[in-house]
Amino acid sequence: MRRILRNIWINLFFLLLSIYYEITFIMNNKPLAYSTTLNGDQLFHINRLHGLSKVFTSPIVFDNYHQVGNGVNYFYPWLTFYPAELLSKLLHSEARGIIVFLVIVTYLTFSVAYYSCKIYLNWNAKKSILFSFLWTFSSYRGVNFFNRTDIGELLATIFIPLVLMSFISLLKDKKYKNWIVLAIGMSLIMLSHILSTLMMIIVFILVMIMNSNYLKDIKIWVSLIISAVATSLMTMMYWLPMIQQQKYIGISRPAKVILYDWALDMGNLINRSFNNNYLLPNLGIMVIMVILLGIIKFNELKNIDKIIMVQSLIFLWLCTKYFPWQLLQETFFNYIQFPWRFIIVVTLFTSILGAKWISKLNSKYIFILIVAICISHYAFVLGLPEKNALKINSDQSIENICKEYTNQDYYPKAATNNSKSIENKEFIFNSKNVSIANLKIKATEYSFTVLNNNTHKVTVDVPILYYLGIKADSNNKLISTNVSKRGTVSIDVEKGKSKITVYSEYTRLAKLAQKISLISSILILIIGIVNFYRKRYIRLE
């Protein structure tokens, strides 16, 4: 009973901290906004939210992303973001829905970090709370939350400690059944943010290299292989339809940048980190202090802490121009785009060390430190620029953004060269004496009337991007759709008056992948629940 009450109090504490974390959004004195100075991802993700209303049946929504039918849902994972849509429906407001969703995201970041430490590192409550606090209030997460509002990366941040700590426990404690948690955690990361998945694989490789003595156990390899297969099956609903679309239609990827240019100069990174704000990606003063202390006291550290320290320094190196990013420019690493993304991994390892060391301090000093971090956090949020900021704190502003915002990521490649005509909603015909009337754009339907005054069929190039699964009806009869030269939907229309409705469905392969993912997830959850209760029963005996 005492343990239950303690868990309730700890989770209430996390909930209060989560509300405080974004109190400026809730009180509206510094609302969620897109700043042209900071150039974050707020507009992209608000359009994603708006596009989730019918995502289980219609992968493409026509009333967002400038109403061109952008197939973002095929290429950017959406399942863990879907609760924001449910909250929007429940609260009858997308603006309120996203705010409540972000509170829940922060609460889960606290809670999952805490229980990961408790369960997989066998830490006490004090040390686990400190880790969850350092992790959730880290400067890099603050930049992601308030500056960039990268929803995908924020969602991945919930599960990263769970994945790393269950992986370490699998290696060192020979907890072979951790493959279940590892598979679920990696699946949730992949279904949140694909780049975080790639980064976690890099983390795994480094951890395995630095702990290679544990890899002599064949059972560990078996567990890792099973986990990888399980992860592939549970996430098939995302990666298989994406590959199908990319193979059939050339898709424009997010911007390919010069990695070296986006790596950070070490001097600038340290300077930013001591300034410790949310204006630019930085380590934050807590991470800097842990690194400095770790270097100074390196010879006095335990072996495990030395390994964690070295891993922190390696990933810090990856953030900077000192790493030879030029050599990896034409490899799959260029999908990472910004080498400073590895700050999240540096933060992860240093938060583990920081929690260990700070827990040894007097409770009075720990309390002062926590209060100082909370006050600093509030000041950093208020310090974000207000000029040239587009507020996203009302449903009307969200609706306007979805109508006007353009983003050419995931366009068919042919469409990127013709984006202006598509976004201007220009219809193209292969004959004269044809006109368009009654254009209506709804979430799942793009309808219009074609007046064909010729005596023969005409081909109409519709300003809607073409993806597999796009369908069209003419006078309530299914007609064939093709891809035009500009990467849009092309249809043949009979003479006379035709009412055309364009809509989208998942392909047969995508529907099969969804079923496989659902069945796999249910089976793995059942296995996990059975193992949990079996372990509990043995413990009680």
Residue in 55, 67, 380 with CA at minimum distance from that of residue 238: 55
Residue in 439, 436, 507 with CA at minimum distance from that of residue 471: 507
What the chain holds in terms of domains, given with CATH numbers, is 413-505 (2.60.40)
323 pLDDT higher than 90: yes
pLDDT-derived band of residue 541, with 50, 70 and 90 as boundaries? low
| 12-32 average pLDDT score | 92
pLDDT tens, position by position, 125-178: 999 999 999 999 999 999 999 999 999 999 999 999 999 999 999 999 999 999
Handedness of CA 93, 21, 292, 118 (dihedral sign): negative
Residue 130 near residue 358, CB atoms below 8 Å: yes
Kindly report the CA angle at 206 between 201 and 207, in degrees rounded to 5?
95
pLDDT of residue 16: 97
pLDDT-derived band of residue 539, with 50, 70 and 90 as boundaries? low
26 pLDDT higher than 80: yes
Average pLDDT, the chain: 94
Q: What does the block give as tokens for 409?
A: 């990521």
Is beta strand 496-504 parallel, antiparallel or unpaired with respect to 470-474? antiparallel
Residue 14 near residue 135, CB atoms below 8 Å: no
| 447-459 average pLDDT score | 93
CA distances to 12, 21, 111, 411, 480 from 15, in Å: 5, 10, 9, 40, 52
- H/E stretch holding 298: none
Q: List, in sequence order, every residue forming a beta bridge with 473; answer none if it has no partner.
A: 478, 501
In this structure, how many other beta carbons lie within 10 angstroms of the beta carbon of residue 205? Answer: 10
pLDDT tens, position by position, 176-197: 999 999 999 999 999 999 999 9
pLDDT tens, position by position, 502-537: 999 999 999 999 999 999 999 999 999 998 887 766
Per DSSP (E only), the strands in 263-388 are none
User: Is 337 strand, coil or helix?
Assistant: coil
- Separation of CA 152 from chain center: 1
**pTM: predicted TM-score of the whole model, two decimal places:** 0.95
56 pLDDT higher than 90: yes
467 vs 434: which has the higher pLDDT: 467
**Residue carrying structure tokens 């993912």:** 517
Q: What does the block give as tokens for 280?
A: 């630019």
